[in-house]
Amino acid sequence: MRERDPGLPPASAGVHPGYNDGNKHRGRKPLKPAPFDYVRARSVEHAVELLGREGARVLAGGQSLIATLNMRLSHPSLLVDINEVADLDRIARRNGHIDIGALVRHAQAARAAEIAQAAPLVARALPHIGHPAIRNRGTIGGSVAFADPAAELPACLLALGGEVDIAGPAGRRTVKADDFFHGLFETALGPRDVLTAIRLPAAMRETRVGFAELARRHGDYAMVGLAAAARANGRSLSDVRLAFFGVGATPVRARQAEQALEAADVEAGVKALDRDLDPPDDVQATGAVKKYLAGVLLRRVARQLNEAPQ
């Protein structure tokens, strides 16, 4: 790849900038991705400006994007690398919330004491994401922006009732998790938007969280997973939020099961999943198997929600 001024017209019209770049590569086979230009953004505003070019895409950890390029499932004309934008890798606690910058790597988040204390649900979910090499590069913002329906972090964001900070051509805005996930790999992000941070309510003494997933091998995307949060009121639970993943186009709230857990009736919750969830068949399992597994996970997570934190 060669860094190019995006103000210039596409240089090589169909030739990969990193291939055929001078005589020494002439005659060799092209690289796997389709041709694209590459620019390092200097700031969030610069990234938004660069994204104004038709076919431009943000590059963060590259763990999902580069695979889609190599398989030619996507053909961006320009990659806008945000890895050197200052302040996007901050973790900050303020006003009862924890802000996690878009460029915080999964591994960095897993080591962060602030996340262990203020976002224990995220801390529980992180070890389930891929493998160490993926967690070293993959970012929190990339995971939420990519919005794979079987990914852990979008479900955690939804279960915690968090928010997403976005910078775009019309300025900055914040979108609630409940309004962020629109469809399969579709979110409230527009083509010129940069996700800058996610914000989660910091856990309090009465906060309870639960997390479980079933995957064929550790590190694989889940067949079915469940991220959950609640508030303990003596021996009962209120404000239960259950976000299943791997069961639809987006993470899915199981609202009737939430009510059943608030009424301390776990088995009614398992039955309610019949109405709350409608998982399609996929390569991992049939919808019927996924629904059954969702019930297994609900029982496990209900036990976690009823335990006092260590």
Quote the CA–CA distance of 232 and 302 in Å, as a whole number.
12
Q: Near ligand FAD by CB under 6 A, which window of 2-10, 62-70, 204-212, 278-286?
A: 62-70
DSSP H or E stretch at residue 81: strand 78-81
- Please work out the total of residues on this chain that contact ligand FAD, with binding judged by CB under 6 A: 31
Q: Near ligand FAD by CB under 6 A, which window of 54-62, 157-165, 266-274, 284-292?
A: 54-62
Tokens in use for 193?
A: 């938007």
Site for ligand FAD (CB under 6 A): which residue of 100, 156, 194, 301? Answer: 194
Which residues have C-beta within 8 Å of that of residue 238, sequence separation ≥ 6? 230, 231, 262
Examine residue 143 and tell whether it contacts ligand FAD (CB under 6 A): yes
Examine residue 65 and tell whether it contacts ligand FAD (CB under 6 A): yes
Examine residue 184 and tell whether it contacts ligand FAD (CB under 6 A): no
Site for ligand FAD (CB under 6 A): which residue of 85, 98, 112, 145? Answer: 145
Site for ligand FAD (CB under 6 A): which residue of 129, 160, 227, 273? Answer: 129
Q: Near ligand FAD by CB under 6 A, which window of 13-21, 129-137, 174-182, 293-301?
A: 129-137
Binding positions for ligand FAD, 75-104, rule CB under 6 A: 82, 102
- What is the distance in angstroms between the CA of the first residue and the CA of the last residue of the chain? 49
Integer CA distances (angstroms), 167 to 62, 73, 113, 144, 221, in order = 20, 26, 27, 15, 29
Examine residue 110 and tell whether it contacts ligand FAD (CB under 6 A): no
Examine residue 142 and tell whether it contacts ligand FAD (CB under 6 A): yes
Examine residue 289 and tell whether it contacts ligand FAD (CB under 6 A): no
Starting at the edge strand found earlier in the chain, the sheet holding 171-176 runs 91-94, 97-101, 194-201, 163-168, 171-176
Binding positions for ligand FAD, 146-175, rule CB under 6 A: 146, 148, 151-153
Site for ligand FAD (CB under 6 A): which residue of 48, 60, 115, 155? Answer: 60
Q: Which amino acid is at 45?
A: E
User: For residues 136-165, b (16+ Cβ closer than 10 Å) or e, as one string?
Assistant: ebbbbbbbbbbbbbbbbbbbbbbbbebbbb
β-pairing verdict for 181-183 and 186-187:
antiparallel
Which is nearer to ligand FAD, 152 or 258 (by Cβ)? 152
Which residues have C-beta within 8 Å of that of residue 61, sequence separation ≥ 6? 105, 137, 138, 139, 142
Quote the CA–CA distance of 125 and 45 in Å, as a whole number.
32
Examine residue 138 and tell whether it contacts ligand FAD (CB under 6 A): yes
- Which residues make up the interface to ligand FAD (CB under 6 A)? 57-65, 67, 82, 102, 129-130, 134, 138-139, 141-143, 145-146, 148, 151-153, 189, 194-195, 219, 221
